[in-house]
A and B are shown apart, each in its own frame.
Chain A
């Protein structure tokens, strides 16, 4: 049952929206592919760093990394995870929230795994159009 709940949550959370990026691209598929690549690279780095800082109990750094991630997540339409990152940014130094934040980071990581796979497909798609 728990597995099913988790899968449902992933389905619910793993959406993104490229509308604004597509508008910005002016039909330039190279630009689109490059920007998605930048997002894939930078968001993977940030999540990996967050997990490292979490291991070291560097809560302030966890908060700063979440702060850094929020705007690009919103821009990519990954609003549900952006809201979680915002919560982490605001509450990272609040000891009462640490367990909750640990769970959230695990949740973000699992969902991002699915999203990044989808975005890799988008990169291939836009590269192949040229």
Chain B
């Protein structure tokens, strides 16, 4: 059964950023699933169907872009937008992220309000289009 509650899946190995993002989205009544390593994220990505994914691209055990590539078909098939977050500002990395199907690219550091506004507007638009 579909509920109106939006569900975000946040993947970041930085525990502090992960929990601040979780708190920010929970404040807006999002259901939040978090993961701080690729194995856990890969497992969760295959068993949950979030409204949107927020993914850090420098994870310790695998590059986030490789992870994105690995779960890409499942997310695309389910029309789940992926927002990349990173403090890497190189256009070449952004290009790869977009080629792999990223909907947006948030460069760190960002304020939690900015992250929320950006992600939420994408989640809303995507739900409307879907």
**A-to-B contact residues, CB < 8 Å:** 20-21, 24-26, 31, 34-35, 38-39, 42, 64, 67-68, 70-72, 74-75, 82, 86, 89
B interface residues, tally (CB under 8 Å) = 17
Tell me which residues across on chain B come within 8 A of A25, comparing CB atoms: 23
Interface residues of B in 23-58 (CB under 8 A from A): 23-24, 27, 58
Tell me which residues across on chain A come within 8 A of B16, comparing CB atoms: 35, 38-39, 42, 72, 75
Residue B93 lies at the interface, judged by CB distance under 8 Å to chain A: no
Residue B111 lies at the interface, judged by CB distance under 8 Å to chain A: yes
**B-to-A contact residues, CB < 8 Å:** 13-17, 19-20, 23-24, 27, 58, 87-88, 108-109, 111-112
Chain B: minimal CB distance from A97 (Å): 19
- Looking across the interface, which residue of chain B has its beta carbon closest to that of A69? B14
Given B58, B111, B112, which contacts A68 in the complex, CB threshold below 8 Å?
B58
* C-alpha spacing A34/B88, complex, angstroms: 28
* C-alpha spacing A53/B128, complex, angstroms: 49
Q: Is the CB of B108 within 8 A of A71?
A: yes
Tell me which residues across on chain A come within 8 A of B58, comparing CB atoms: 64, 67-68
Q: Is the CB of B27 within 8 A of A71?
A: no
Q: Is the CB of B19 within 8 A of A70?
A: no
Q: Is the CB of B87 within 8 A of A38?
A: no
Q: Is the CB of A24 within 8 A of B23?
A: yes
Q: Is the CB of B14 within 8 A of A24?
A: no
Q: Is the CB of B14 within 8 A of A20?
A: no
